[in-house]
Amino acid sequence: MAGENKSLSERIANELYNLIILQKKFAPGDKLPNENDLSQSLGVSRTTLREAVRYLVAQGVLSVQRGRGTFISEDLAIYNKYDIGTLSHARLADMYEIRLMFEPQCIMLACFRATEEELQGIFDQAQLVEKLVRENGNWPDEDQRFHEMIAAAAHNEFIIRLFPIINAAVTEAMEMTDNTDALKNIVIYDNRDMMGFLRLRDGAGAKSAMNIHIRHVINTLGLSAGEL
């Protein structure tokens, strides 16, 4: 039972993180809704919510002010300078270079560290992405979520702090390119390759597949491909 509670609290922490960082429902310095309202909206007990909040406090995403409540950390304001529309072509290339440095390592670690539940979640997300690609749905956001889930399964707590910056670069790149058909094919077939290695928990193969995927994207976007 303790393991189940921990897993639930981690999922709720991820939901809160997405609301704050990705969906931008709250800004740095904002106060979270009171415990009763927030636990009801998330469909969990107050105990589970408290565990999730403690996790995000440890990550520096939230801060608890005694007698006042729980607030979004002011430190998150650093991410504002990476908002959509602020990244030049050269800086996008730099961001994708960072992706090339750490995401292959993330998926390799995920092969060794992910729980079976986490792996199944990643597989389900990959299927959702492919479905949305084929239906011309909002696949870019779900593909970003797919990469976040892989990074989270690496169980390295600092990685989660990098993803708002990485996602800003990915979103900006998608806004700039007209070559979406090529990207759709890359996403479908490269994701399948990565899933195949994850199913086998083949760290070296998964690392190579992620490296190839990011290079495919870099080449398609024309982001200094010759230098990376």
Greatest pairwise CA separation for the chain in angstroms: 56
Contacts of 45 (CB under 8 A, 6+ apart): 39
Q: Which pLDDT score is estimated for 5?
A: 47
pLDDT at 168 over 80: no
Average pLDDT score over the chain: 83
Measured between alpha carbons, how far is residue 83 from residues 22, 24, 96 in Å?
Answer: 11, 11, 16
Helix 46-58, helix 35-42: angle, nearest 10: 100
Nearest to 170 by CA among 71, 64, 98: 98
CB of 133 closer than 8 Å to CB of 139: yes
How far CA 200 is from CA of 72, 112, 205, in Å, comes to 39, 10, 9
Query: What are the chain's domains?
Result: 2-77 (1.10.10.10), 83-221 (1.20.120.530)
Lowest mean pLDDT among 7-16, 103-112, 132-141: 7-16
Name beta bridge partners: 65.
69
Q: For residue 78, is pLDDT > 50?
A: no
Q: How confident is the model at residue 208 (pLDDT cuts 50, 70, 90)?
A: very high
Q: Indicate whether 173 pLDDT > 90.
A: no
Sign of the four-CA dihedral 214, 220, 221, 223: positive
Please enumerate in sequence order all residues whose Cβ is within 8 A of that of 34, keeping only pairs 6 or more positions apart, or say none.
Answer: 69
Structure tokens that stand for 47 in this block: 């105990």
Of residues 18 and 86, more confidence is placed in 18
Give the pair of three-digit tokens for residue 73. Answer: 């950390």
Q: State the pTM of this model.
A: 0.63
Amino acid at 183: L
Range scoring the smallest mean pLDDT among 4-18, 21-35, 48-62, 212-226: 4-18
Question: If phi over 0 gives left and psi between -120 and 50 gives alpha, with beta otherwise, what is residue 20?
Answer: alpha
φ and ψ at residue 85, rounded to 5 degrees = 95, -5
